[in-house]
Amino acid sequence: MAHIHLPDGAFTIEWVAVWWAILLLVLITVLFRMRRKDPSNLSGIAITAMITAVSFATFQISLPLLGGVHLNLTPLVGILLGPGLGILSVFIVNVFSSAIGHGGWGLVGANSLINSVEVSLSYLTFRLLNGRFGTFSSGVGAALVGLLAGSIAMIVVIVVSGIQGSALTRSEIFSNLILLAGVNLFVAAIEGTVTGFALAYVKRLRPDLLSN
C-alpha cells in the first residue's frame, strides 16, 4: 500500500543510486537462496506470475476514497508466496507500474524496498498468528502489521532522502508524512479485510498455498 508518488527528479541521483543498490543486493540474495533451495520450482514460478498479475492490476485501480487511494495486495502476496518470491513479485509490479507512468523509474528501488518490508513482515506475522487464531483474523492482523511497517519505511526513505525543489525542511516533510500515514492506516484496514477474506477463500480451495 505504501508507495512514493513522486516524479523522477524528486530524489537526488545519489539517493536514487543508494536505494537501487540496496534493492539489487536484496534481489541477488533472494535469487541466490532460492537457487540453492529449489532451482526448478516451476509451480512456484507459475503461481508467482498469476499473483503478480493480479497485484499489478489491482494496484492500477483507484478507489474513490479520500481523494483516491489504491490497494496493492502486498500482504497477500507475501503470505501466499513467502518473502523470496514475494520480493521478486513486488519488484516486477513496480517496474511495470513505472512503465505506464505510475511512479518514476528512479523510485522503483525505494518503492520496491518499502513493499518488500510489507511482504516480509506480513508473511512472518501471519505465520505467528495463524496457529493461534483463524485464517481471517490472522490475515487481517498480518496485513495491518505489514502495512504499518511499510508506511514507516516510506516516511524514513523520504525524510532521509529529502525532496529536491521543496522549500519544506525535513521536519516539515516528516510532519506532513505523519498525516499521510494516518490516511494509510485507514486504507490498511480496508486492505486488511480484503486480505483476510482472500486468505479464508484460498484456504477452502487451495490450502496448500498457505503451507509455504
CATH for 108: 1.10.1760.20
pLDDT number for residue 66 = 55
Cβ distance 194 to 42 under 8 Å?
no
Let me know if residue 7 belongs to a domain: no
Please tell me the total count of domains within the chain.
Answer: 1
Mean pLDDT of the chain: 86
Q: What percent of the chain has pLDDT over 90?
A: 47
Let me know if residue 127 belongs to a domain: yes
- pLDDT over threshold 90, residue 175: no
pLDDT number for residue 178 = 80
3-state class (DSSP) for residue 69? strand
Q: Residue 7: which pLDDT band, with cuts at 50, 70 and 90?
A: confident
3-state class (DSSP) for residue 56? helix
pLDDT number for residue 61 = 77
The reported pTM is: 0.88
Between residues 48 and 2, which one has the greater pLDDT?
48
Provide mean pLDDT across the span 161-167: 79
What are the tens digits of pLDDT across the range 115-126?
A: 999 999 999 999
Q: How far apart are CA 158 and CA 160, in angstroms?
A: 6
Q: How far apart are CA 112 and CA 119, in angstroms?
A: 10
Let me know if residue 1 belongs to a domain: no
Q: Where are the alpha helices (DSSP H) in 38-169?
A: 42-59, 74-99, 108-129, 135-161
Cell, residue 108: 522503483
Between residues 82 and 69, which one has the greater pLDDT?
82
Let me know if residue 80 belongs to a domain: yes
Q: Is the dihedral of CA 163, 168, 173, 179 positive or negative?
A: negative
Between residues 167 and 89, which one has the greater pLDDT?
89
- Secondary structure letter of residue 166 according to DSSP: -
Domain that holds residue 122: 13-210
Let me know if residue 168 belongs to a domain: yes
Let me know if residue 155 belongs to a domain: yes
* Least confident segment among 33-37, 82-86, 92-96, 179-183: 179-183
Name which of 12, 22, 20, 5 is nearest 161 in CA terms: 12
Let me know if residue 4 belongs to a domain: no
Let me know if residue 135 belongs to a domain: yes
- pLDDT over threshold 80, residue 37: no
